[in-house]
Amino acid sequence: MGSIEDFRSEAHDWIEANLPSELRVGNRKDLPKELLGAWIQAMASRGWVAPEWPTEYGGGGLDRSHAAALRAELKAFRAPVVGGFGTQMLGPTLLELGTDAQKEEFLPGICKHETKWCQGYSEPGAGSDLASLQTRAVLEGDEYVITGQKIWTTGADRADWIFCLVRTDPEAPKHEGISFILFPMDQPGVEVSPLRLIDGSEDFSQVFFNGARAKASHVIGPVNGGWTVAKRLLQHERTTDGGSEGGITGAQKETYADVVKREVGFDNGVLADPVLRQRLASQEQEAAALSLTMRRAREEARAGQTARDIGSLGKYRWANMVKGEQDLAMLALGAHGLGWEGPGFEDTQLERTRAWLSTRSDSIWGGTNEVQLNVIAKRVLHIPE
């Protein structure tokens, strides 16, 4: 595989040659579609949509150190992150718990970024208490027929497929009658109804199943053994999101620190407001500490030296951190942060207000902050109930 230095230099040159300047701005929602599509294809052709997955499925076949070097280079270029539910959650779960046939069927579509996935976990009566879910799946021949409702399903209106928790044995204790199943969204028994978030976007939906069909061969893990699969996927979700690089929200033209510096200004080379100066320094320290802590925790987890649920710690601290960053930007903006639309506010100010509102959800999705604290107490610190 060659030395890390050589690989990093090769990756640098390749990114320089393939990443257009218009895309060197992080994960913005308004990136030019054609350029983004070409960039994703270029990444997929190298297996770099899923750098650590085996090459037989279209992954990059890199070891952890080479993959980390690649991510560092991509981050240095502010390249948009290519991936989503497929690469971050379903793929790693399939690699561990799927059959060979399931891996062959689903992983290449994820590596090519051709199949978009959504996550059908939450229901109106089952959020934190996820095992109370009621969506039913009944076996008819070699297919399951699915009836019920999911809610807060991010990207459901764009997704090709859903990974879904369904109740296959209503008589069993609640954790023991659940299965983890995959099925296509584009079929008569699936209806998607978008919901508006507080930041004005319509990024998630209610999803209704009325006789939706799934192949029995698309159950991942044992029938009625889906709870274990579901928990493993959540560990990946919490690790990849919460435990990733600290301080990145990525969606804005400016970072929160840029906003503070611009709005407050400088006095003798230091930020003019001593209170905001202190808050900014604390935020930056938190970001650096979280990044280092999670890097260490990931290494320890891979070596089997710490609990897999350590991702909950990262998710909890990350959620508080990004909310704190946006709070600080809003403090610096003052009345300029109160705009929603129309004249009187600059685009960056309007964007910041919505970003602040959007980050309110970061301590809810993927398990609320309170749920993460429960997980840390029970499964990381082993505190008796």
Residues that bind ligand FAD (CB under 6 A): 118-122, 127-128, 152-154, 204, 361, 364-365, 367-368, 370-371, 374
Minimum Å gap between C-beta 13 and ligand FAD is 37
Catalytic residue among 237, 263, 325, 351: 237
Q: What is the distance, to the nearest Å, from the Cα of residue 190 to the centroid of all Cα atoms in its chain?
A: 24
Residues 332, 199, 120, 28, CA torsion sign:
negative
DSSP state of 380: I
- Closest CA relative to residue 63, chosen from 73, 72, 54: 54
In angstroms, give the least distance from the CB of 325 to ligand FAD.
Answer: 17
**In whole angstroms, how close is the CB of 301 to ligand FAD at the nearest point?**
22
Looking at the Cβ atoms of 159 and 260, the one nearer to ligand FAD is 159
Contacts of 69 (CB under 8 A, 6+ apart): 4, 7, 8, 11
Q: Whole-number minimum distance, CB 253 to ligand FAD, in Å? A: 22
Residue 237 known to be catalytic = yes
Phi (first) and psi of residue 82, to 5 degrees: -95, 120
Looking at beta carbons only, is 128 or 282 nearer to ligand FAD? 128
Q: Compare residues 119 and 353 and give the one whose CB is closer to ligand FAD.
A: 119
| 188 vs 232: CA distance, rounded Å | 30
Reading the block at residue 239, the tokens are: 């690790």
* Alpha helices (H) in 28-133, listed in sequence order: 33-45, 64-76, 85, 91-97, 100-111
Residue 121 or 345 having the CB closest to ligand FAD:
121
- Closest contact distance (angstroms) between CB of 49 and ligand FAD is 20
Q: Which residue is nearest to ligand FAD (CB)?
A: 127
**Cα-based angle 163, 30, 153 (whole degrees, multiple of 5):** 20
**Separation between Cα atoms, residue 311 and residue 234, nearest integer Å:** 9
Alpha helices in the chain (DSSP H): 4-18, 33-45, 64-76, 85, 91-97, 100-111, 226-242, 256-264, 274-302, 311-333, 347-358, 369-375
Q: Minimum distance between the CB of residue 152 and ligand FAD, rounded to whole angstroms? A: 3
Contact 369, 336 (CB under 8 A): no
Which residues contact residue 82 at a Cβ distance below 8 angstroms, ignoring those fewer than 6 apart?
39, 40, 43, 44, 48, 49, 113
Torsion of CA 235, 240, 244, 248, to 10 degrees: -120
The distance of closest approach from Cβ of residue 271 to ligand FAD in the complex, given in angstroms and rounded to an integer, is 32
**Which residue, 165 or 350, is less far from ligand FAD as judged by CB?**
165
User: Least distance from C-beta 263 to ligand FAD, angstroms?
Assistant: 27
Nearer of residues 70 and 156 to ligand FAD, judged by Cβ = 156
Report the residue number, 204 or 227, with the smaller CB distance to ligand FAD: 204
Do 79 and 122 meet the contact criterion of CB atoms below 8 Å apart? Answer: no
For the chain, report the end-to-end CA distance as a whole number of angstroms: 48
The candidate with the shortest Cα–Cα distance to 307, out of 214, 233, 382, is 382
Q: Which is nearer to ligand FAD, 40 or 364 (CB)?
A: 364
Residues known to be catalytic: 237
